[in-house]
Amino acid sequence: MMSLEHEKKMRRAHITREVIEVILLVVVISVAIRLSIDTRFVEGDSMEPNLPPSQLVMVNKLAYLFGSPQRGDVIVLYFPLDTSKQFIKRIIGIPGDRIDLKPGEVSVNGHPIAEPYVTKEQNAQVGSVTLGPDQYFVMGDHREVSCDSRSWGPLPKNDIIGKVTLVYWPLSKIHGVNTYDSTFAGIPDQKATKASSNIPFGNDCAA
Closest CA relative to residue 161, chosen from 58, 92, 72, 11: 58
Active-site option among 36, 46, 102, 157: 46
Please list, in sequence order, all residues whose beta carbon lies within 8 angstroms of the beta carbon of residue 61, skipping any fewer than 6 positions away: 35, 36, 37, 38, 161, 162
Residue 6: which H helix or E strand, with range? helix 4-36
Single-letter amino acid code for the residue at 187:
I
Strand 135-139, strand 127-130: pairing: unpaired
| Calpha distance 141→123 (Å, rounded) | 12
Active-site option among 61, 85, 89, 157: 89
Strand partners, 89: 75
Active site residue 89: yes
3-state secondary structure of 94: coil
CB 187, CB 111: distance < 8 Å: yes
**Terminal CA-to-CA distance of the chain, rounded, Å?**
76
Residue 149: which H helix or E strand, with range? helix 149-152
Active site residue 149: no
| Entry field: residues in the chain | 207
Q: Which residues are catalytic?
A: 46, 89
